[in-house]
Amino acid sequence: MPIRVLLADDHILVRQALKSLLEREKLQVIAEASDGQEVVALAEAHHPDIAVIDISMPILNGIDAARELGRSCPKTKTILLTQHEEDQYIREALEAGVKGYVLKNQVASDLVHAIQQVSRGQFYLSPGVSRAVMEAYRTKSDSPADPLTARERQVLQLIAEGKSTRDAASLLGISVKTAESHRMRLMQKLDIHETASLVRYAVRRGLVQP
């Protein structure tokens, strides 16, 4: 049976190009998502073998989407497809349970190879990714703890994307009061009390793009 793949990128042209590439290699693209929240919903509905996710996506970024998939769809293995080579992103991705990390500046065959390797239960890191980062992850060194819960990170990302508390509540399917409570808690935990400073923090953590 072909490997069943969920593709997630907020640019439709990128998804179309990736879909054509994978289907030429006899891989089956069973669903496509344009944001992280949609990734989780489609994975729960279709149970793909592999989810190929861009890190930089609206509502829920790729790393947090991978965390959600680890809980809701543990049999689905996640590969991040990204332009980010920074150690911080790679460490957080591995801690989120990602099985593959593919850089967008690699050749197309790199992604196909990653899917095939991850489907066999192996890890895959693009050649441009520091192997020292993998070793640091394995030894659990140099990895600062994230003070925020998954929901608080979602609210923070939406704030950084310019969404109001009411908009965040609607997108996350929670009450405005609950969304405001998450906002207040994350501000207290981070000791950050201005929206502009929250945006800068979200950019540093890779939740949104500058």
**CATH code, domain carrying 89:** 3.40.50.2300
Render pLDDT for 18-27 as a digit per residue (tens, 0 to 9). Answer: 999 999 999 9
Same domain? For 197 and 174 the reply is: yes
- The pLDDT of residue 134 is 62
Question: Where is the domain boundary, 99, 117, 138?
Answer: 138
* Integer Cα distance of 102 and 55 in angstroms: 11
Same domain? For 126 and 198 the reply is: no
- The pLDDT of residue 111 is 92
- The pLDDT of residue 114 is 94
> Are the CB atoms for 160 and 198 separated by under 8 Å?
yes
> Are the CB atoms for 41 and 85 separated by under 8 Å?
no
In what side-by-side order are the strands of the sheet with 50-54?
28-33, 4-8, 50-54, 77-82, 100-103, 124-125
The rounded radius of gyration (Å) of the Cα atoms in the chain is 17
**Average of pLDDT values for 60-76?**
94
Same domain? For 25 and 77 the reply is: yes
For residue 56, how many other CB atoms are within 10 A of its CB? 18
- At 72, which amino acid appears? S
* Integer Cα distance of 86 and 81 in angstroms: 13
Same domain? For 101 and 195 the reply is: no
CA distances from 110 to 15, 79, 102, 153 (A): 16, 12, 7, 31
> Tokens 């279709």 sit at which residue?
46
Render pLDDT for 98-131 as a digit per residue (tens, 0 to 9). Answer: 999 999 887 778 899 999 999 999 999 887 676 6
pTM of the shown model: 0.80
> What's the farthest any 2 CA atoms get from each other in the chain?
53
- The pLDDT of residue 177 is 94
How many domains does the chain contain in total? 2
Same domain? For 167 and 197 the reply is: yes
Q: Between these two residues, 48 and 127, which has the higher pLDDT value?
A: 48
Q: Pick from 20, 37, 38: which is nearest to 29 by CA?
A: 20
* Residue 101 belongs to domain spanning: 4-138
Same domain? For 33 and 133 the reply is: yes
DSSP letter for each residue of 137-202:
HHTT-S-PPP-S-HHHHHHHHHHHTT--HHHHHHHHT--HHHHHHHHHHHHHHHT--SHHHHHHHH
Asked if residue 183 has pLDDT above 90, the reply is yes
Is 171 inside a domain boundary?
A: yes
> Tokens 């993998």 sit at which residue?
134
Is 144 inside a domain boundary?
A: no
